[in-house]
Amino acid sequence: MNQPLTTRIKSTAVLAMLVLSVGSAHFSSYAQDRGCKQWQIIPGKCLGKINVGTNEADLVRIFGRGNVRREDLDIGEGGTVPGTVLYPEDNEKRVEIFWKNQQWQIPTEARIRGNASVWKTRKGISLGMSLKEIERLNGKPFRLYGFGWDGSGLWGDCDKGRLKEMRCEDSHGRGQGGEMSISFSPDPKWQASRTYYRVSGERIFSSGHPSMQTMNPRIYELSIYLQP
């Protein structure tokens, strides 16, 4: 016997809600299971429970309302974009989250800044690590931009080293990797010195440059680019 039209419409609506509910539960489970442990970074994938499937409401649920705040985030040259900050009052836990749009649904980048952080990769890369320590992980000198401009000390290329998760050209000069980037800064005591000026400006230098080795700058910024 055929059901009345109104009953069929209600049944269809209930079924649709169930499907959406199951789908949301599945997505939420996926969003929290990308292989990261607490305070761990896997470049391109996650920081702890933060990944491309984690929206701002999830952040509040996971970290607590008091640890999640919207702020305008610096993007260089005086520009800012709306973003979300985790642990805004704790410098060693603080993370800045950039979104695909202002619906706060799809994070594209997580950025960590400062002198030290509890967040680190499985290789131990974190804020405060020195240029020479990163050279050892890379297995050889790498390339980075000079100091004294908006892109100051930014990682340029692994120069055929082992840190493939960051930008690393292949034998044909094609860029690969790029799931994470790091930026270095020398101790402020060097900033008025000839040593500093020899490796300043919007140019690429080897980490093996004598001035780089003398100053041995440390990581002050780390960006993780989140991918599906």
Q: What is the pLDDT of residues 200-217, one digit of tens each?
A: 999 999 999 999 999 999
Q: Closest Cα to residue 222, out of 11, 42, 10?
A: 42
pLDDT in tens, 58-117: 999 999 999 999 999 999 888 999 999 999 999 999 999 999 988 999 999 999 999 999
CB 18 within 8 A of CB 38: no
98 neighbors 92 (Cβ within 8 angstroms): no
> Tokens 């003398």 identify what position?
214
Asked if the structure places residue 226 within a domain, the reply is no
* Residue among 14, 39, 214, 8 nearest 126 (CA): 39
Out of 113, 133, 149, pick the residue that ends a domain.
113
Same domain, 138 and 90: no
Q: Report yes or no on 12 lying in a domain.
A: no
Q: Do both 76 and 128 map to the same domain?
A: no
Whole-number Å distance between alpha carbons of 178 and 59? 25
Stated pTM of the model: 0.82
Range of 174's domain? 120-220
The count of structural domains within the chain is 2
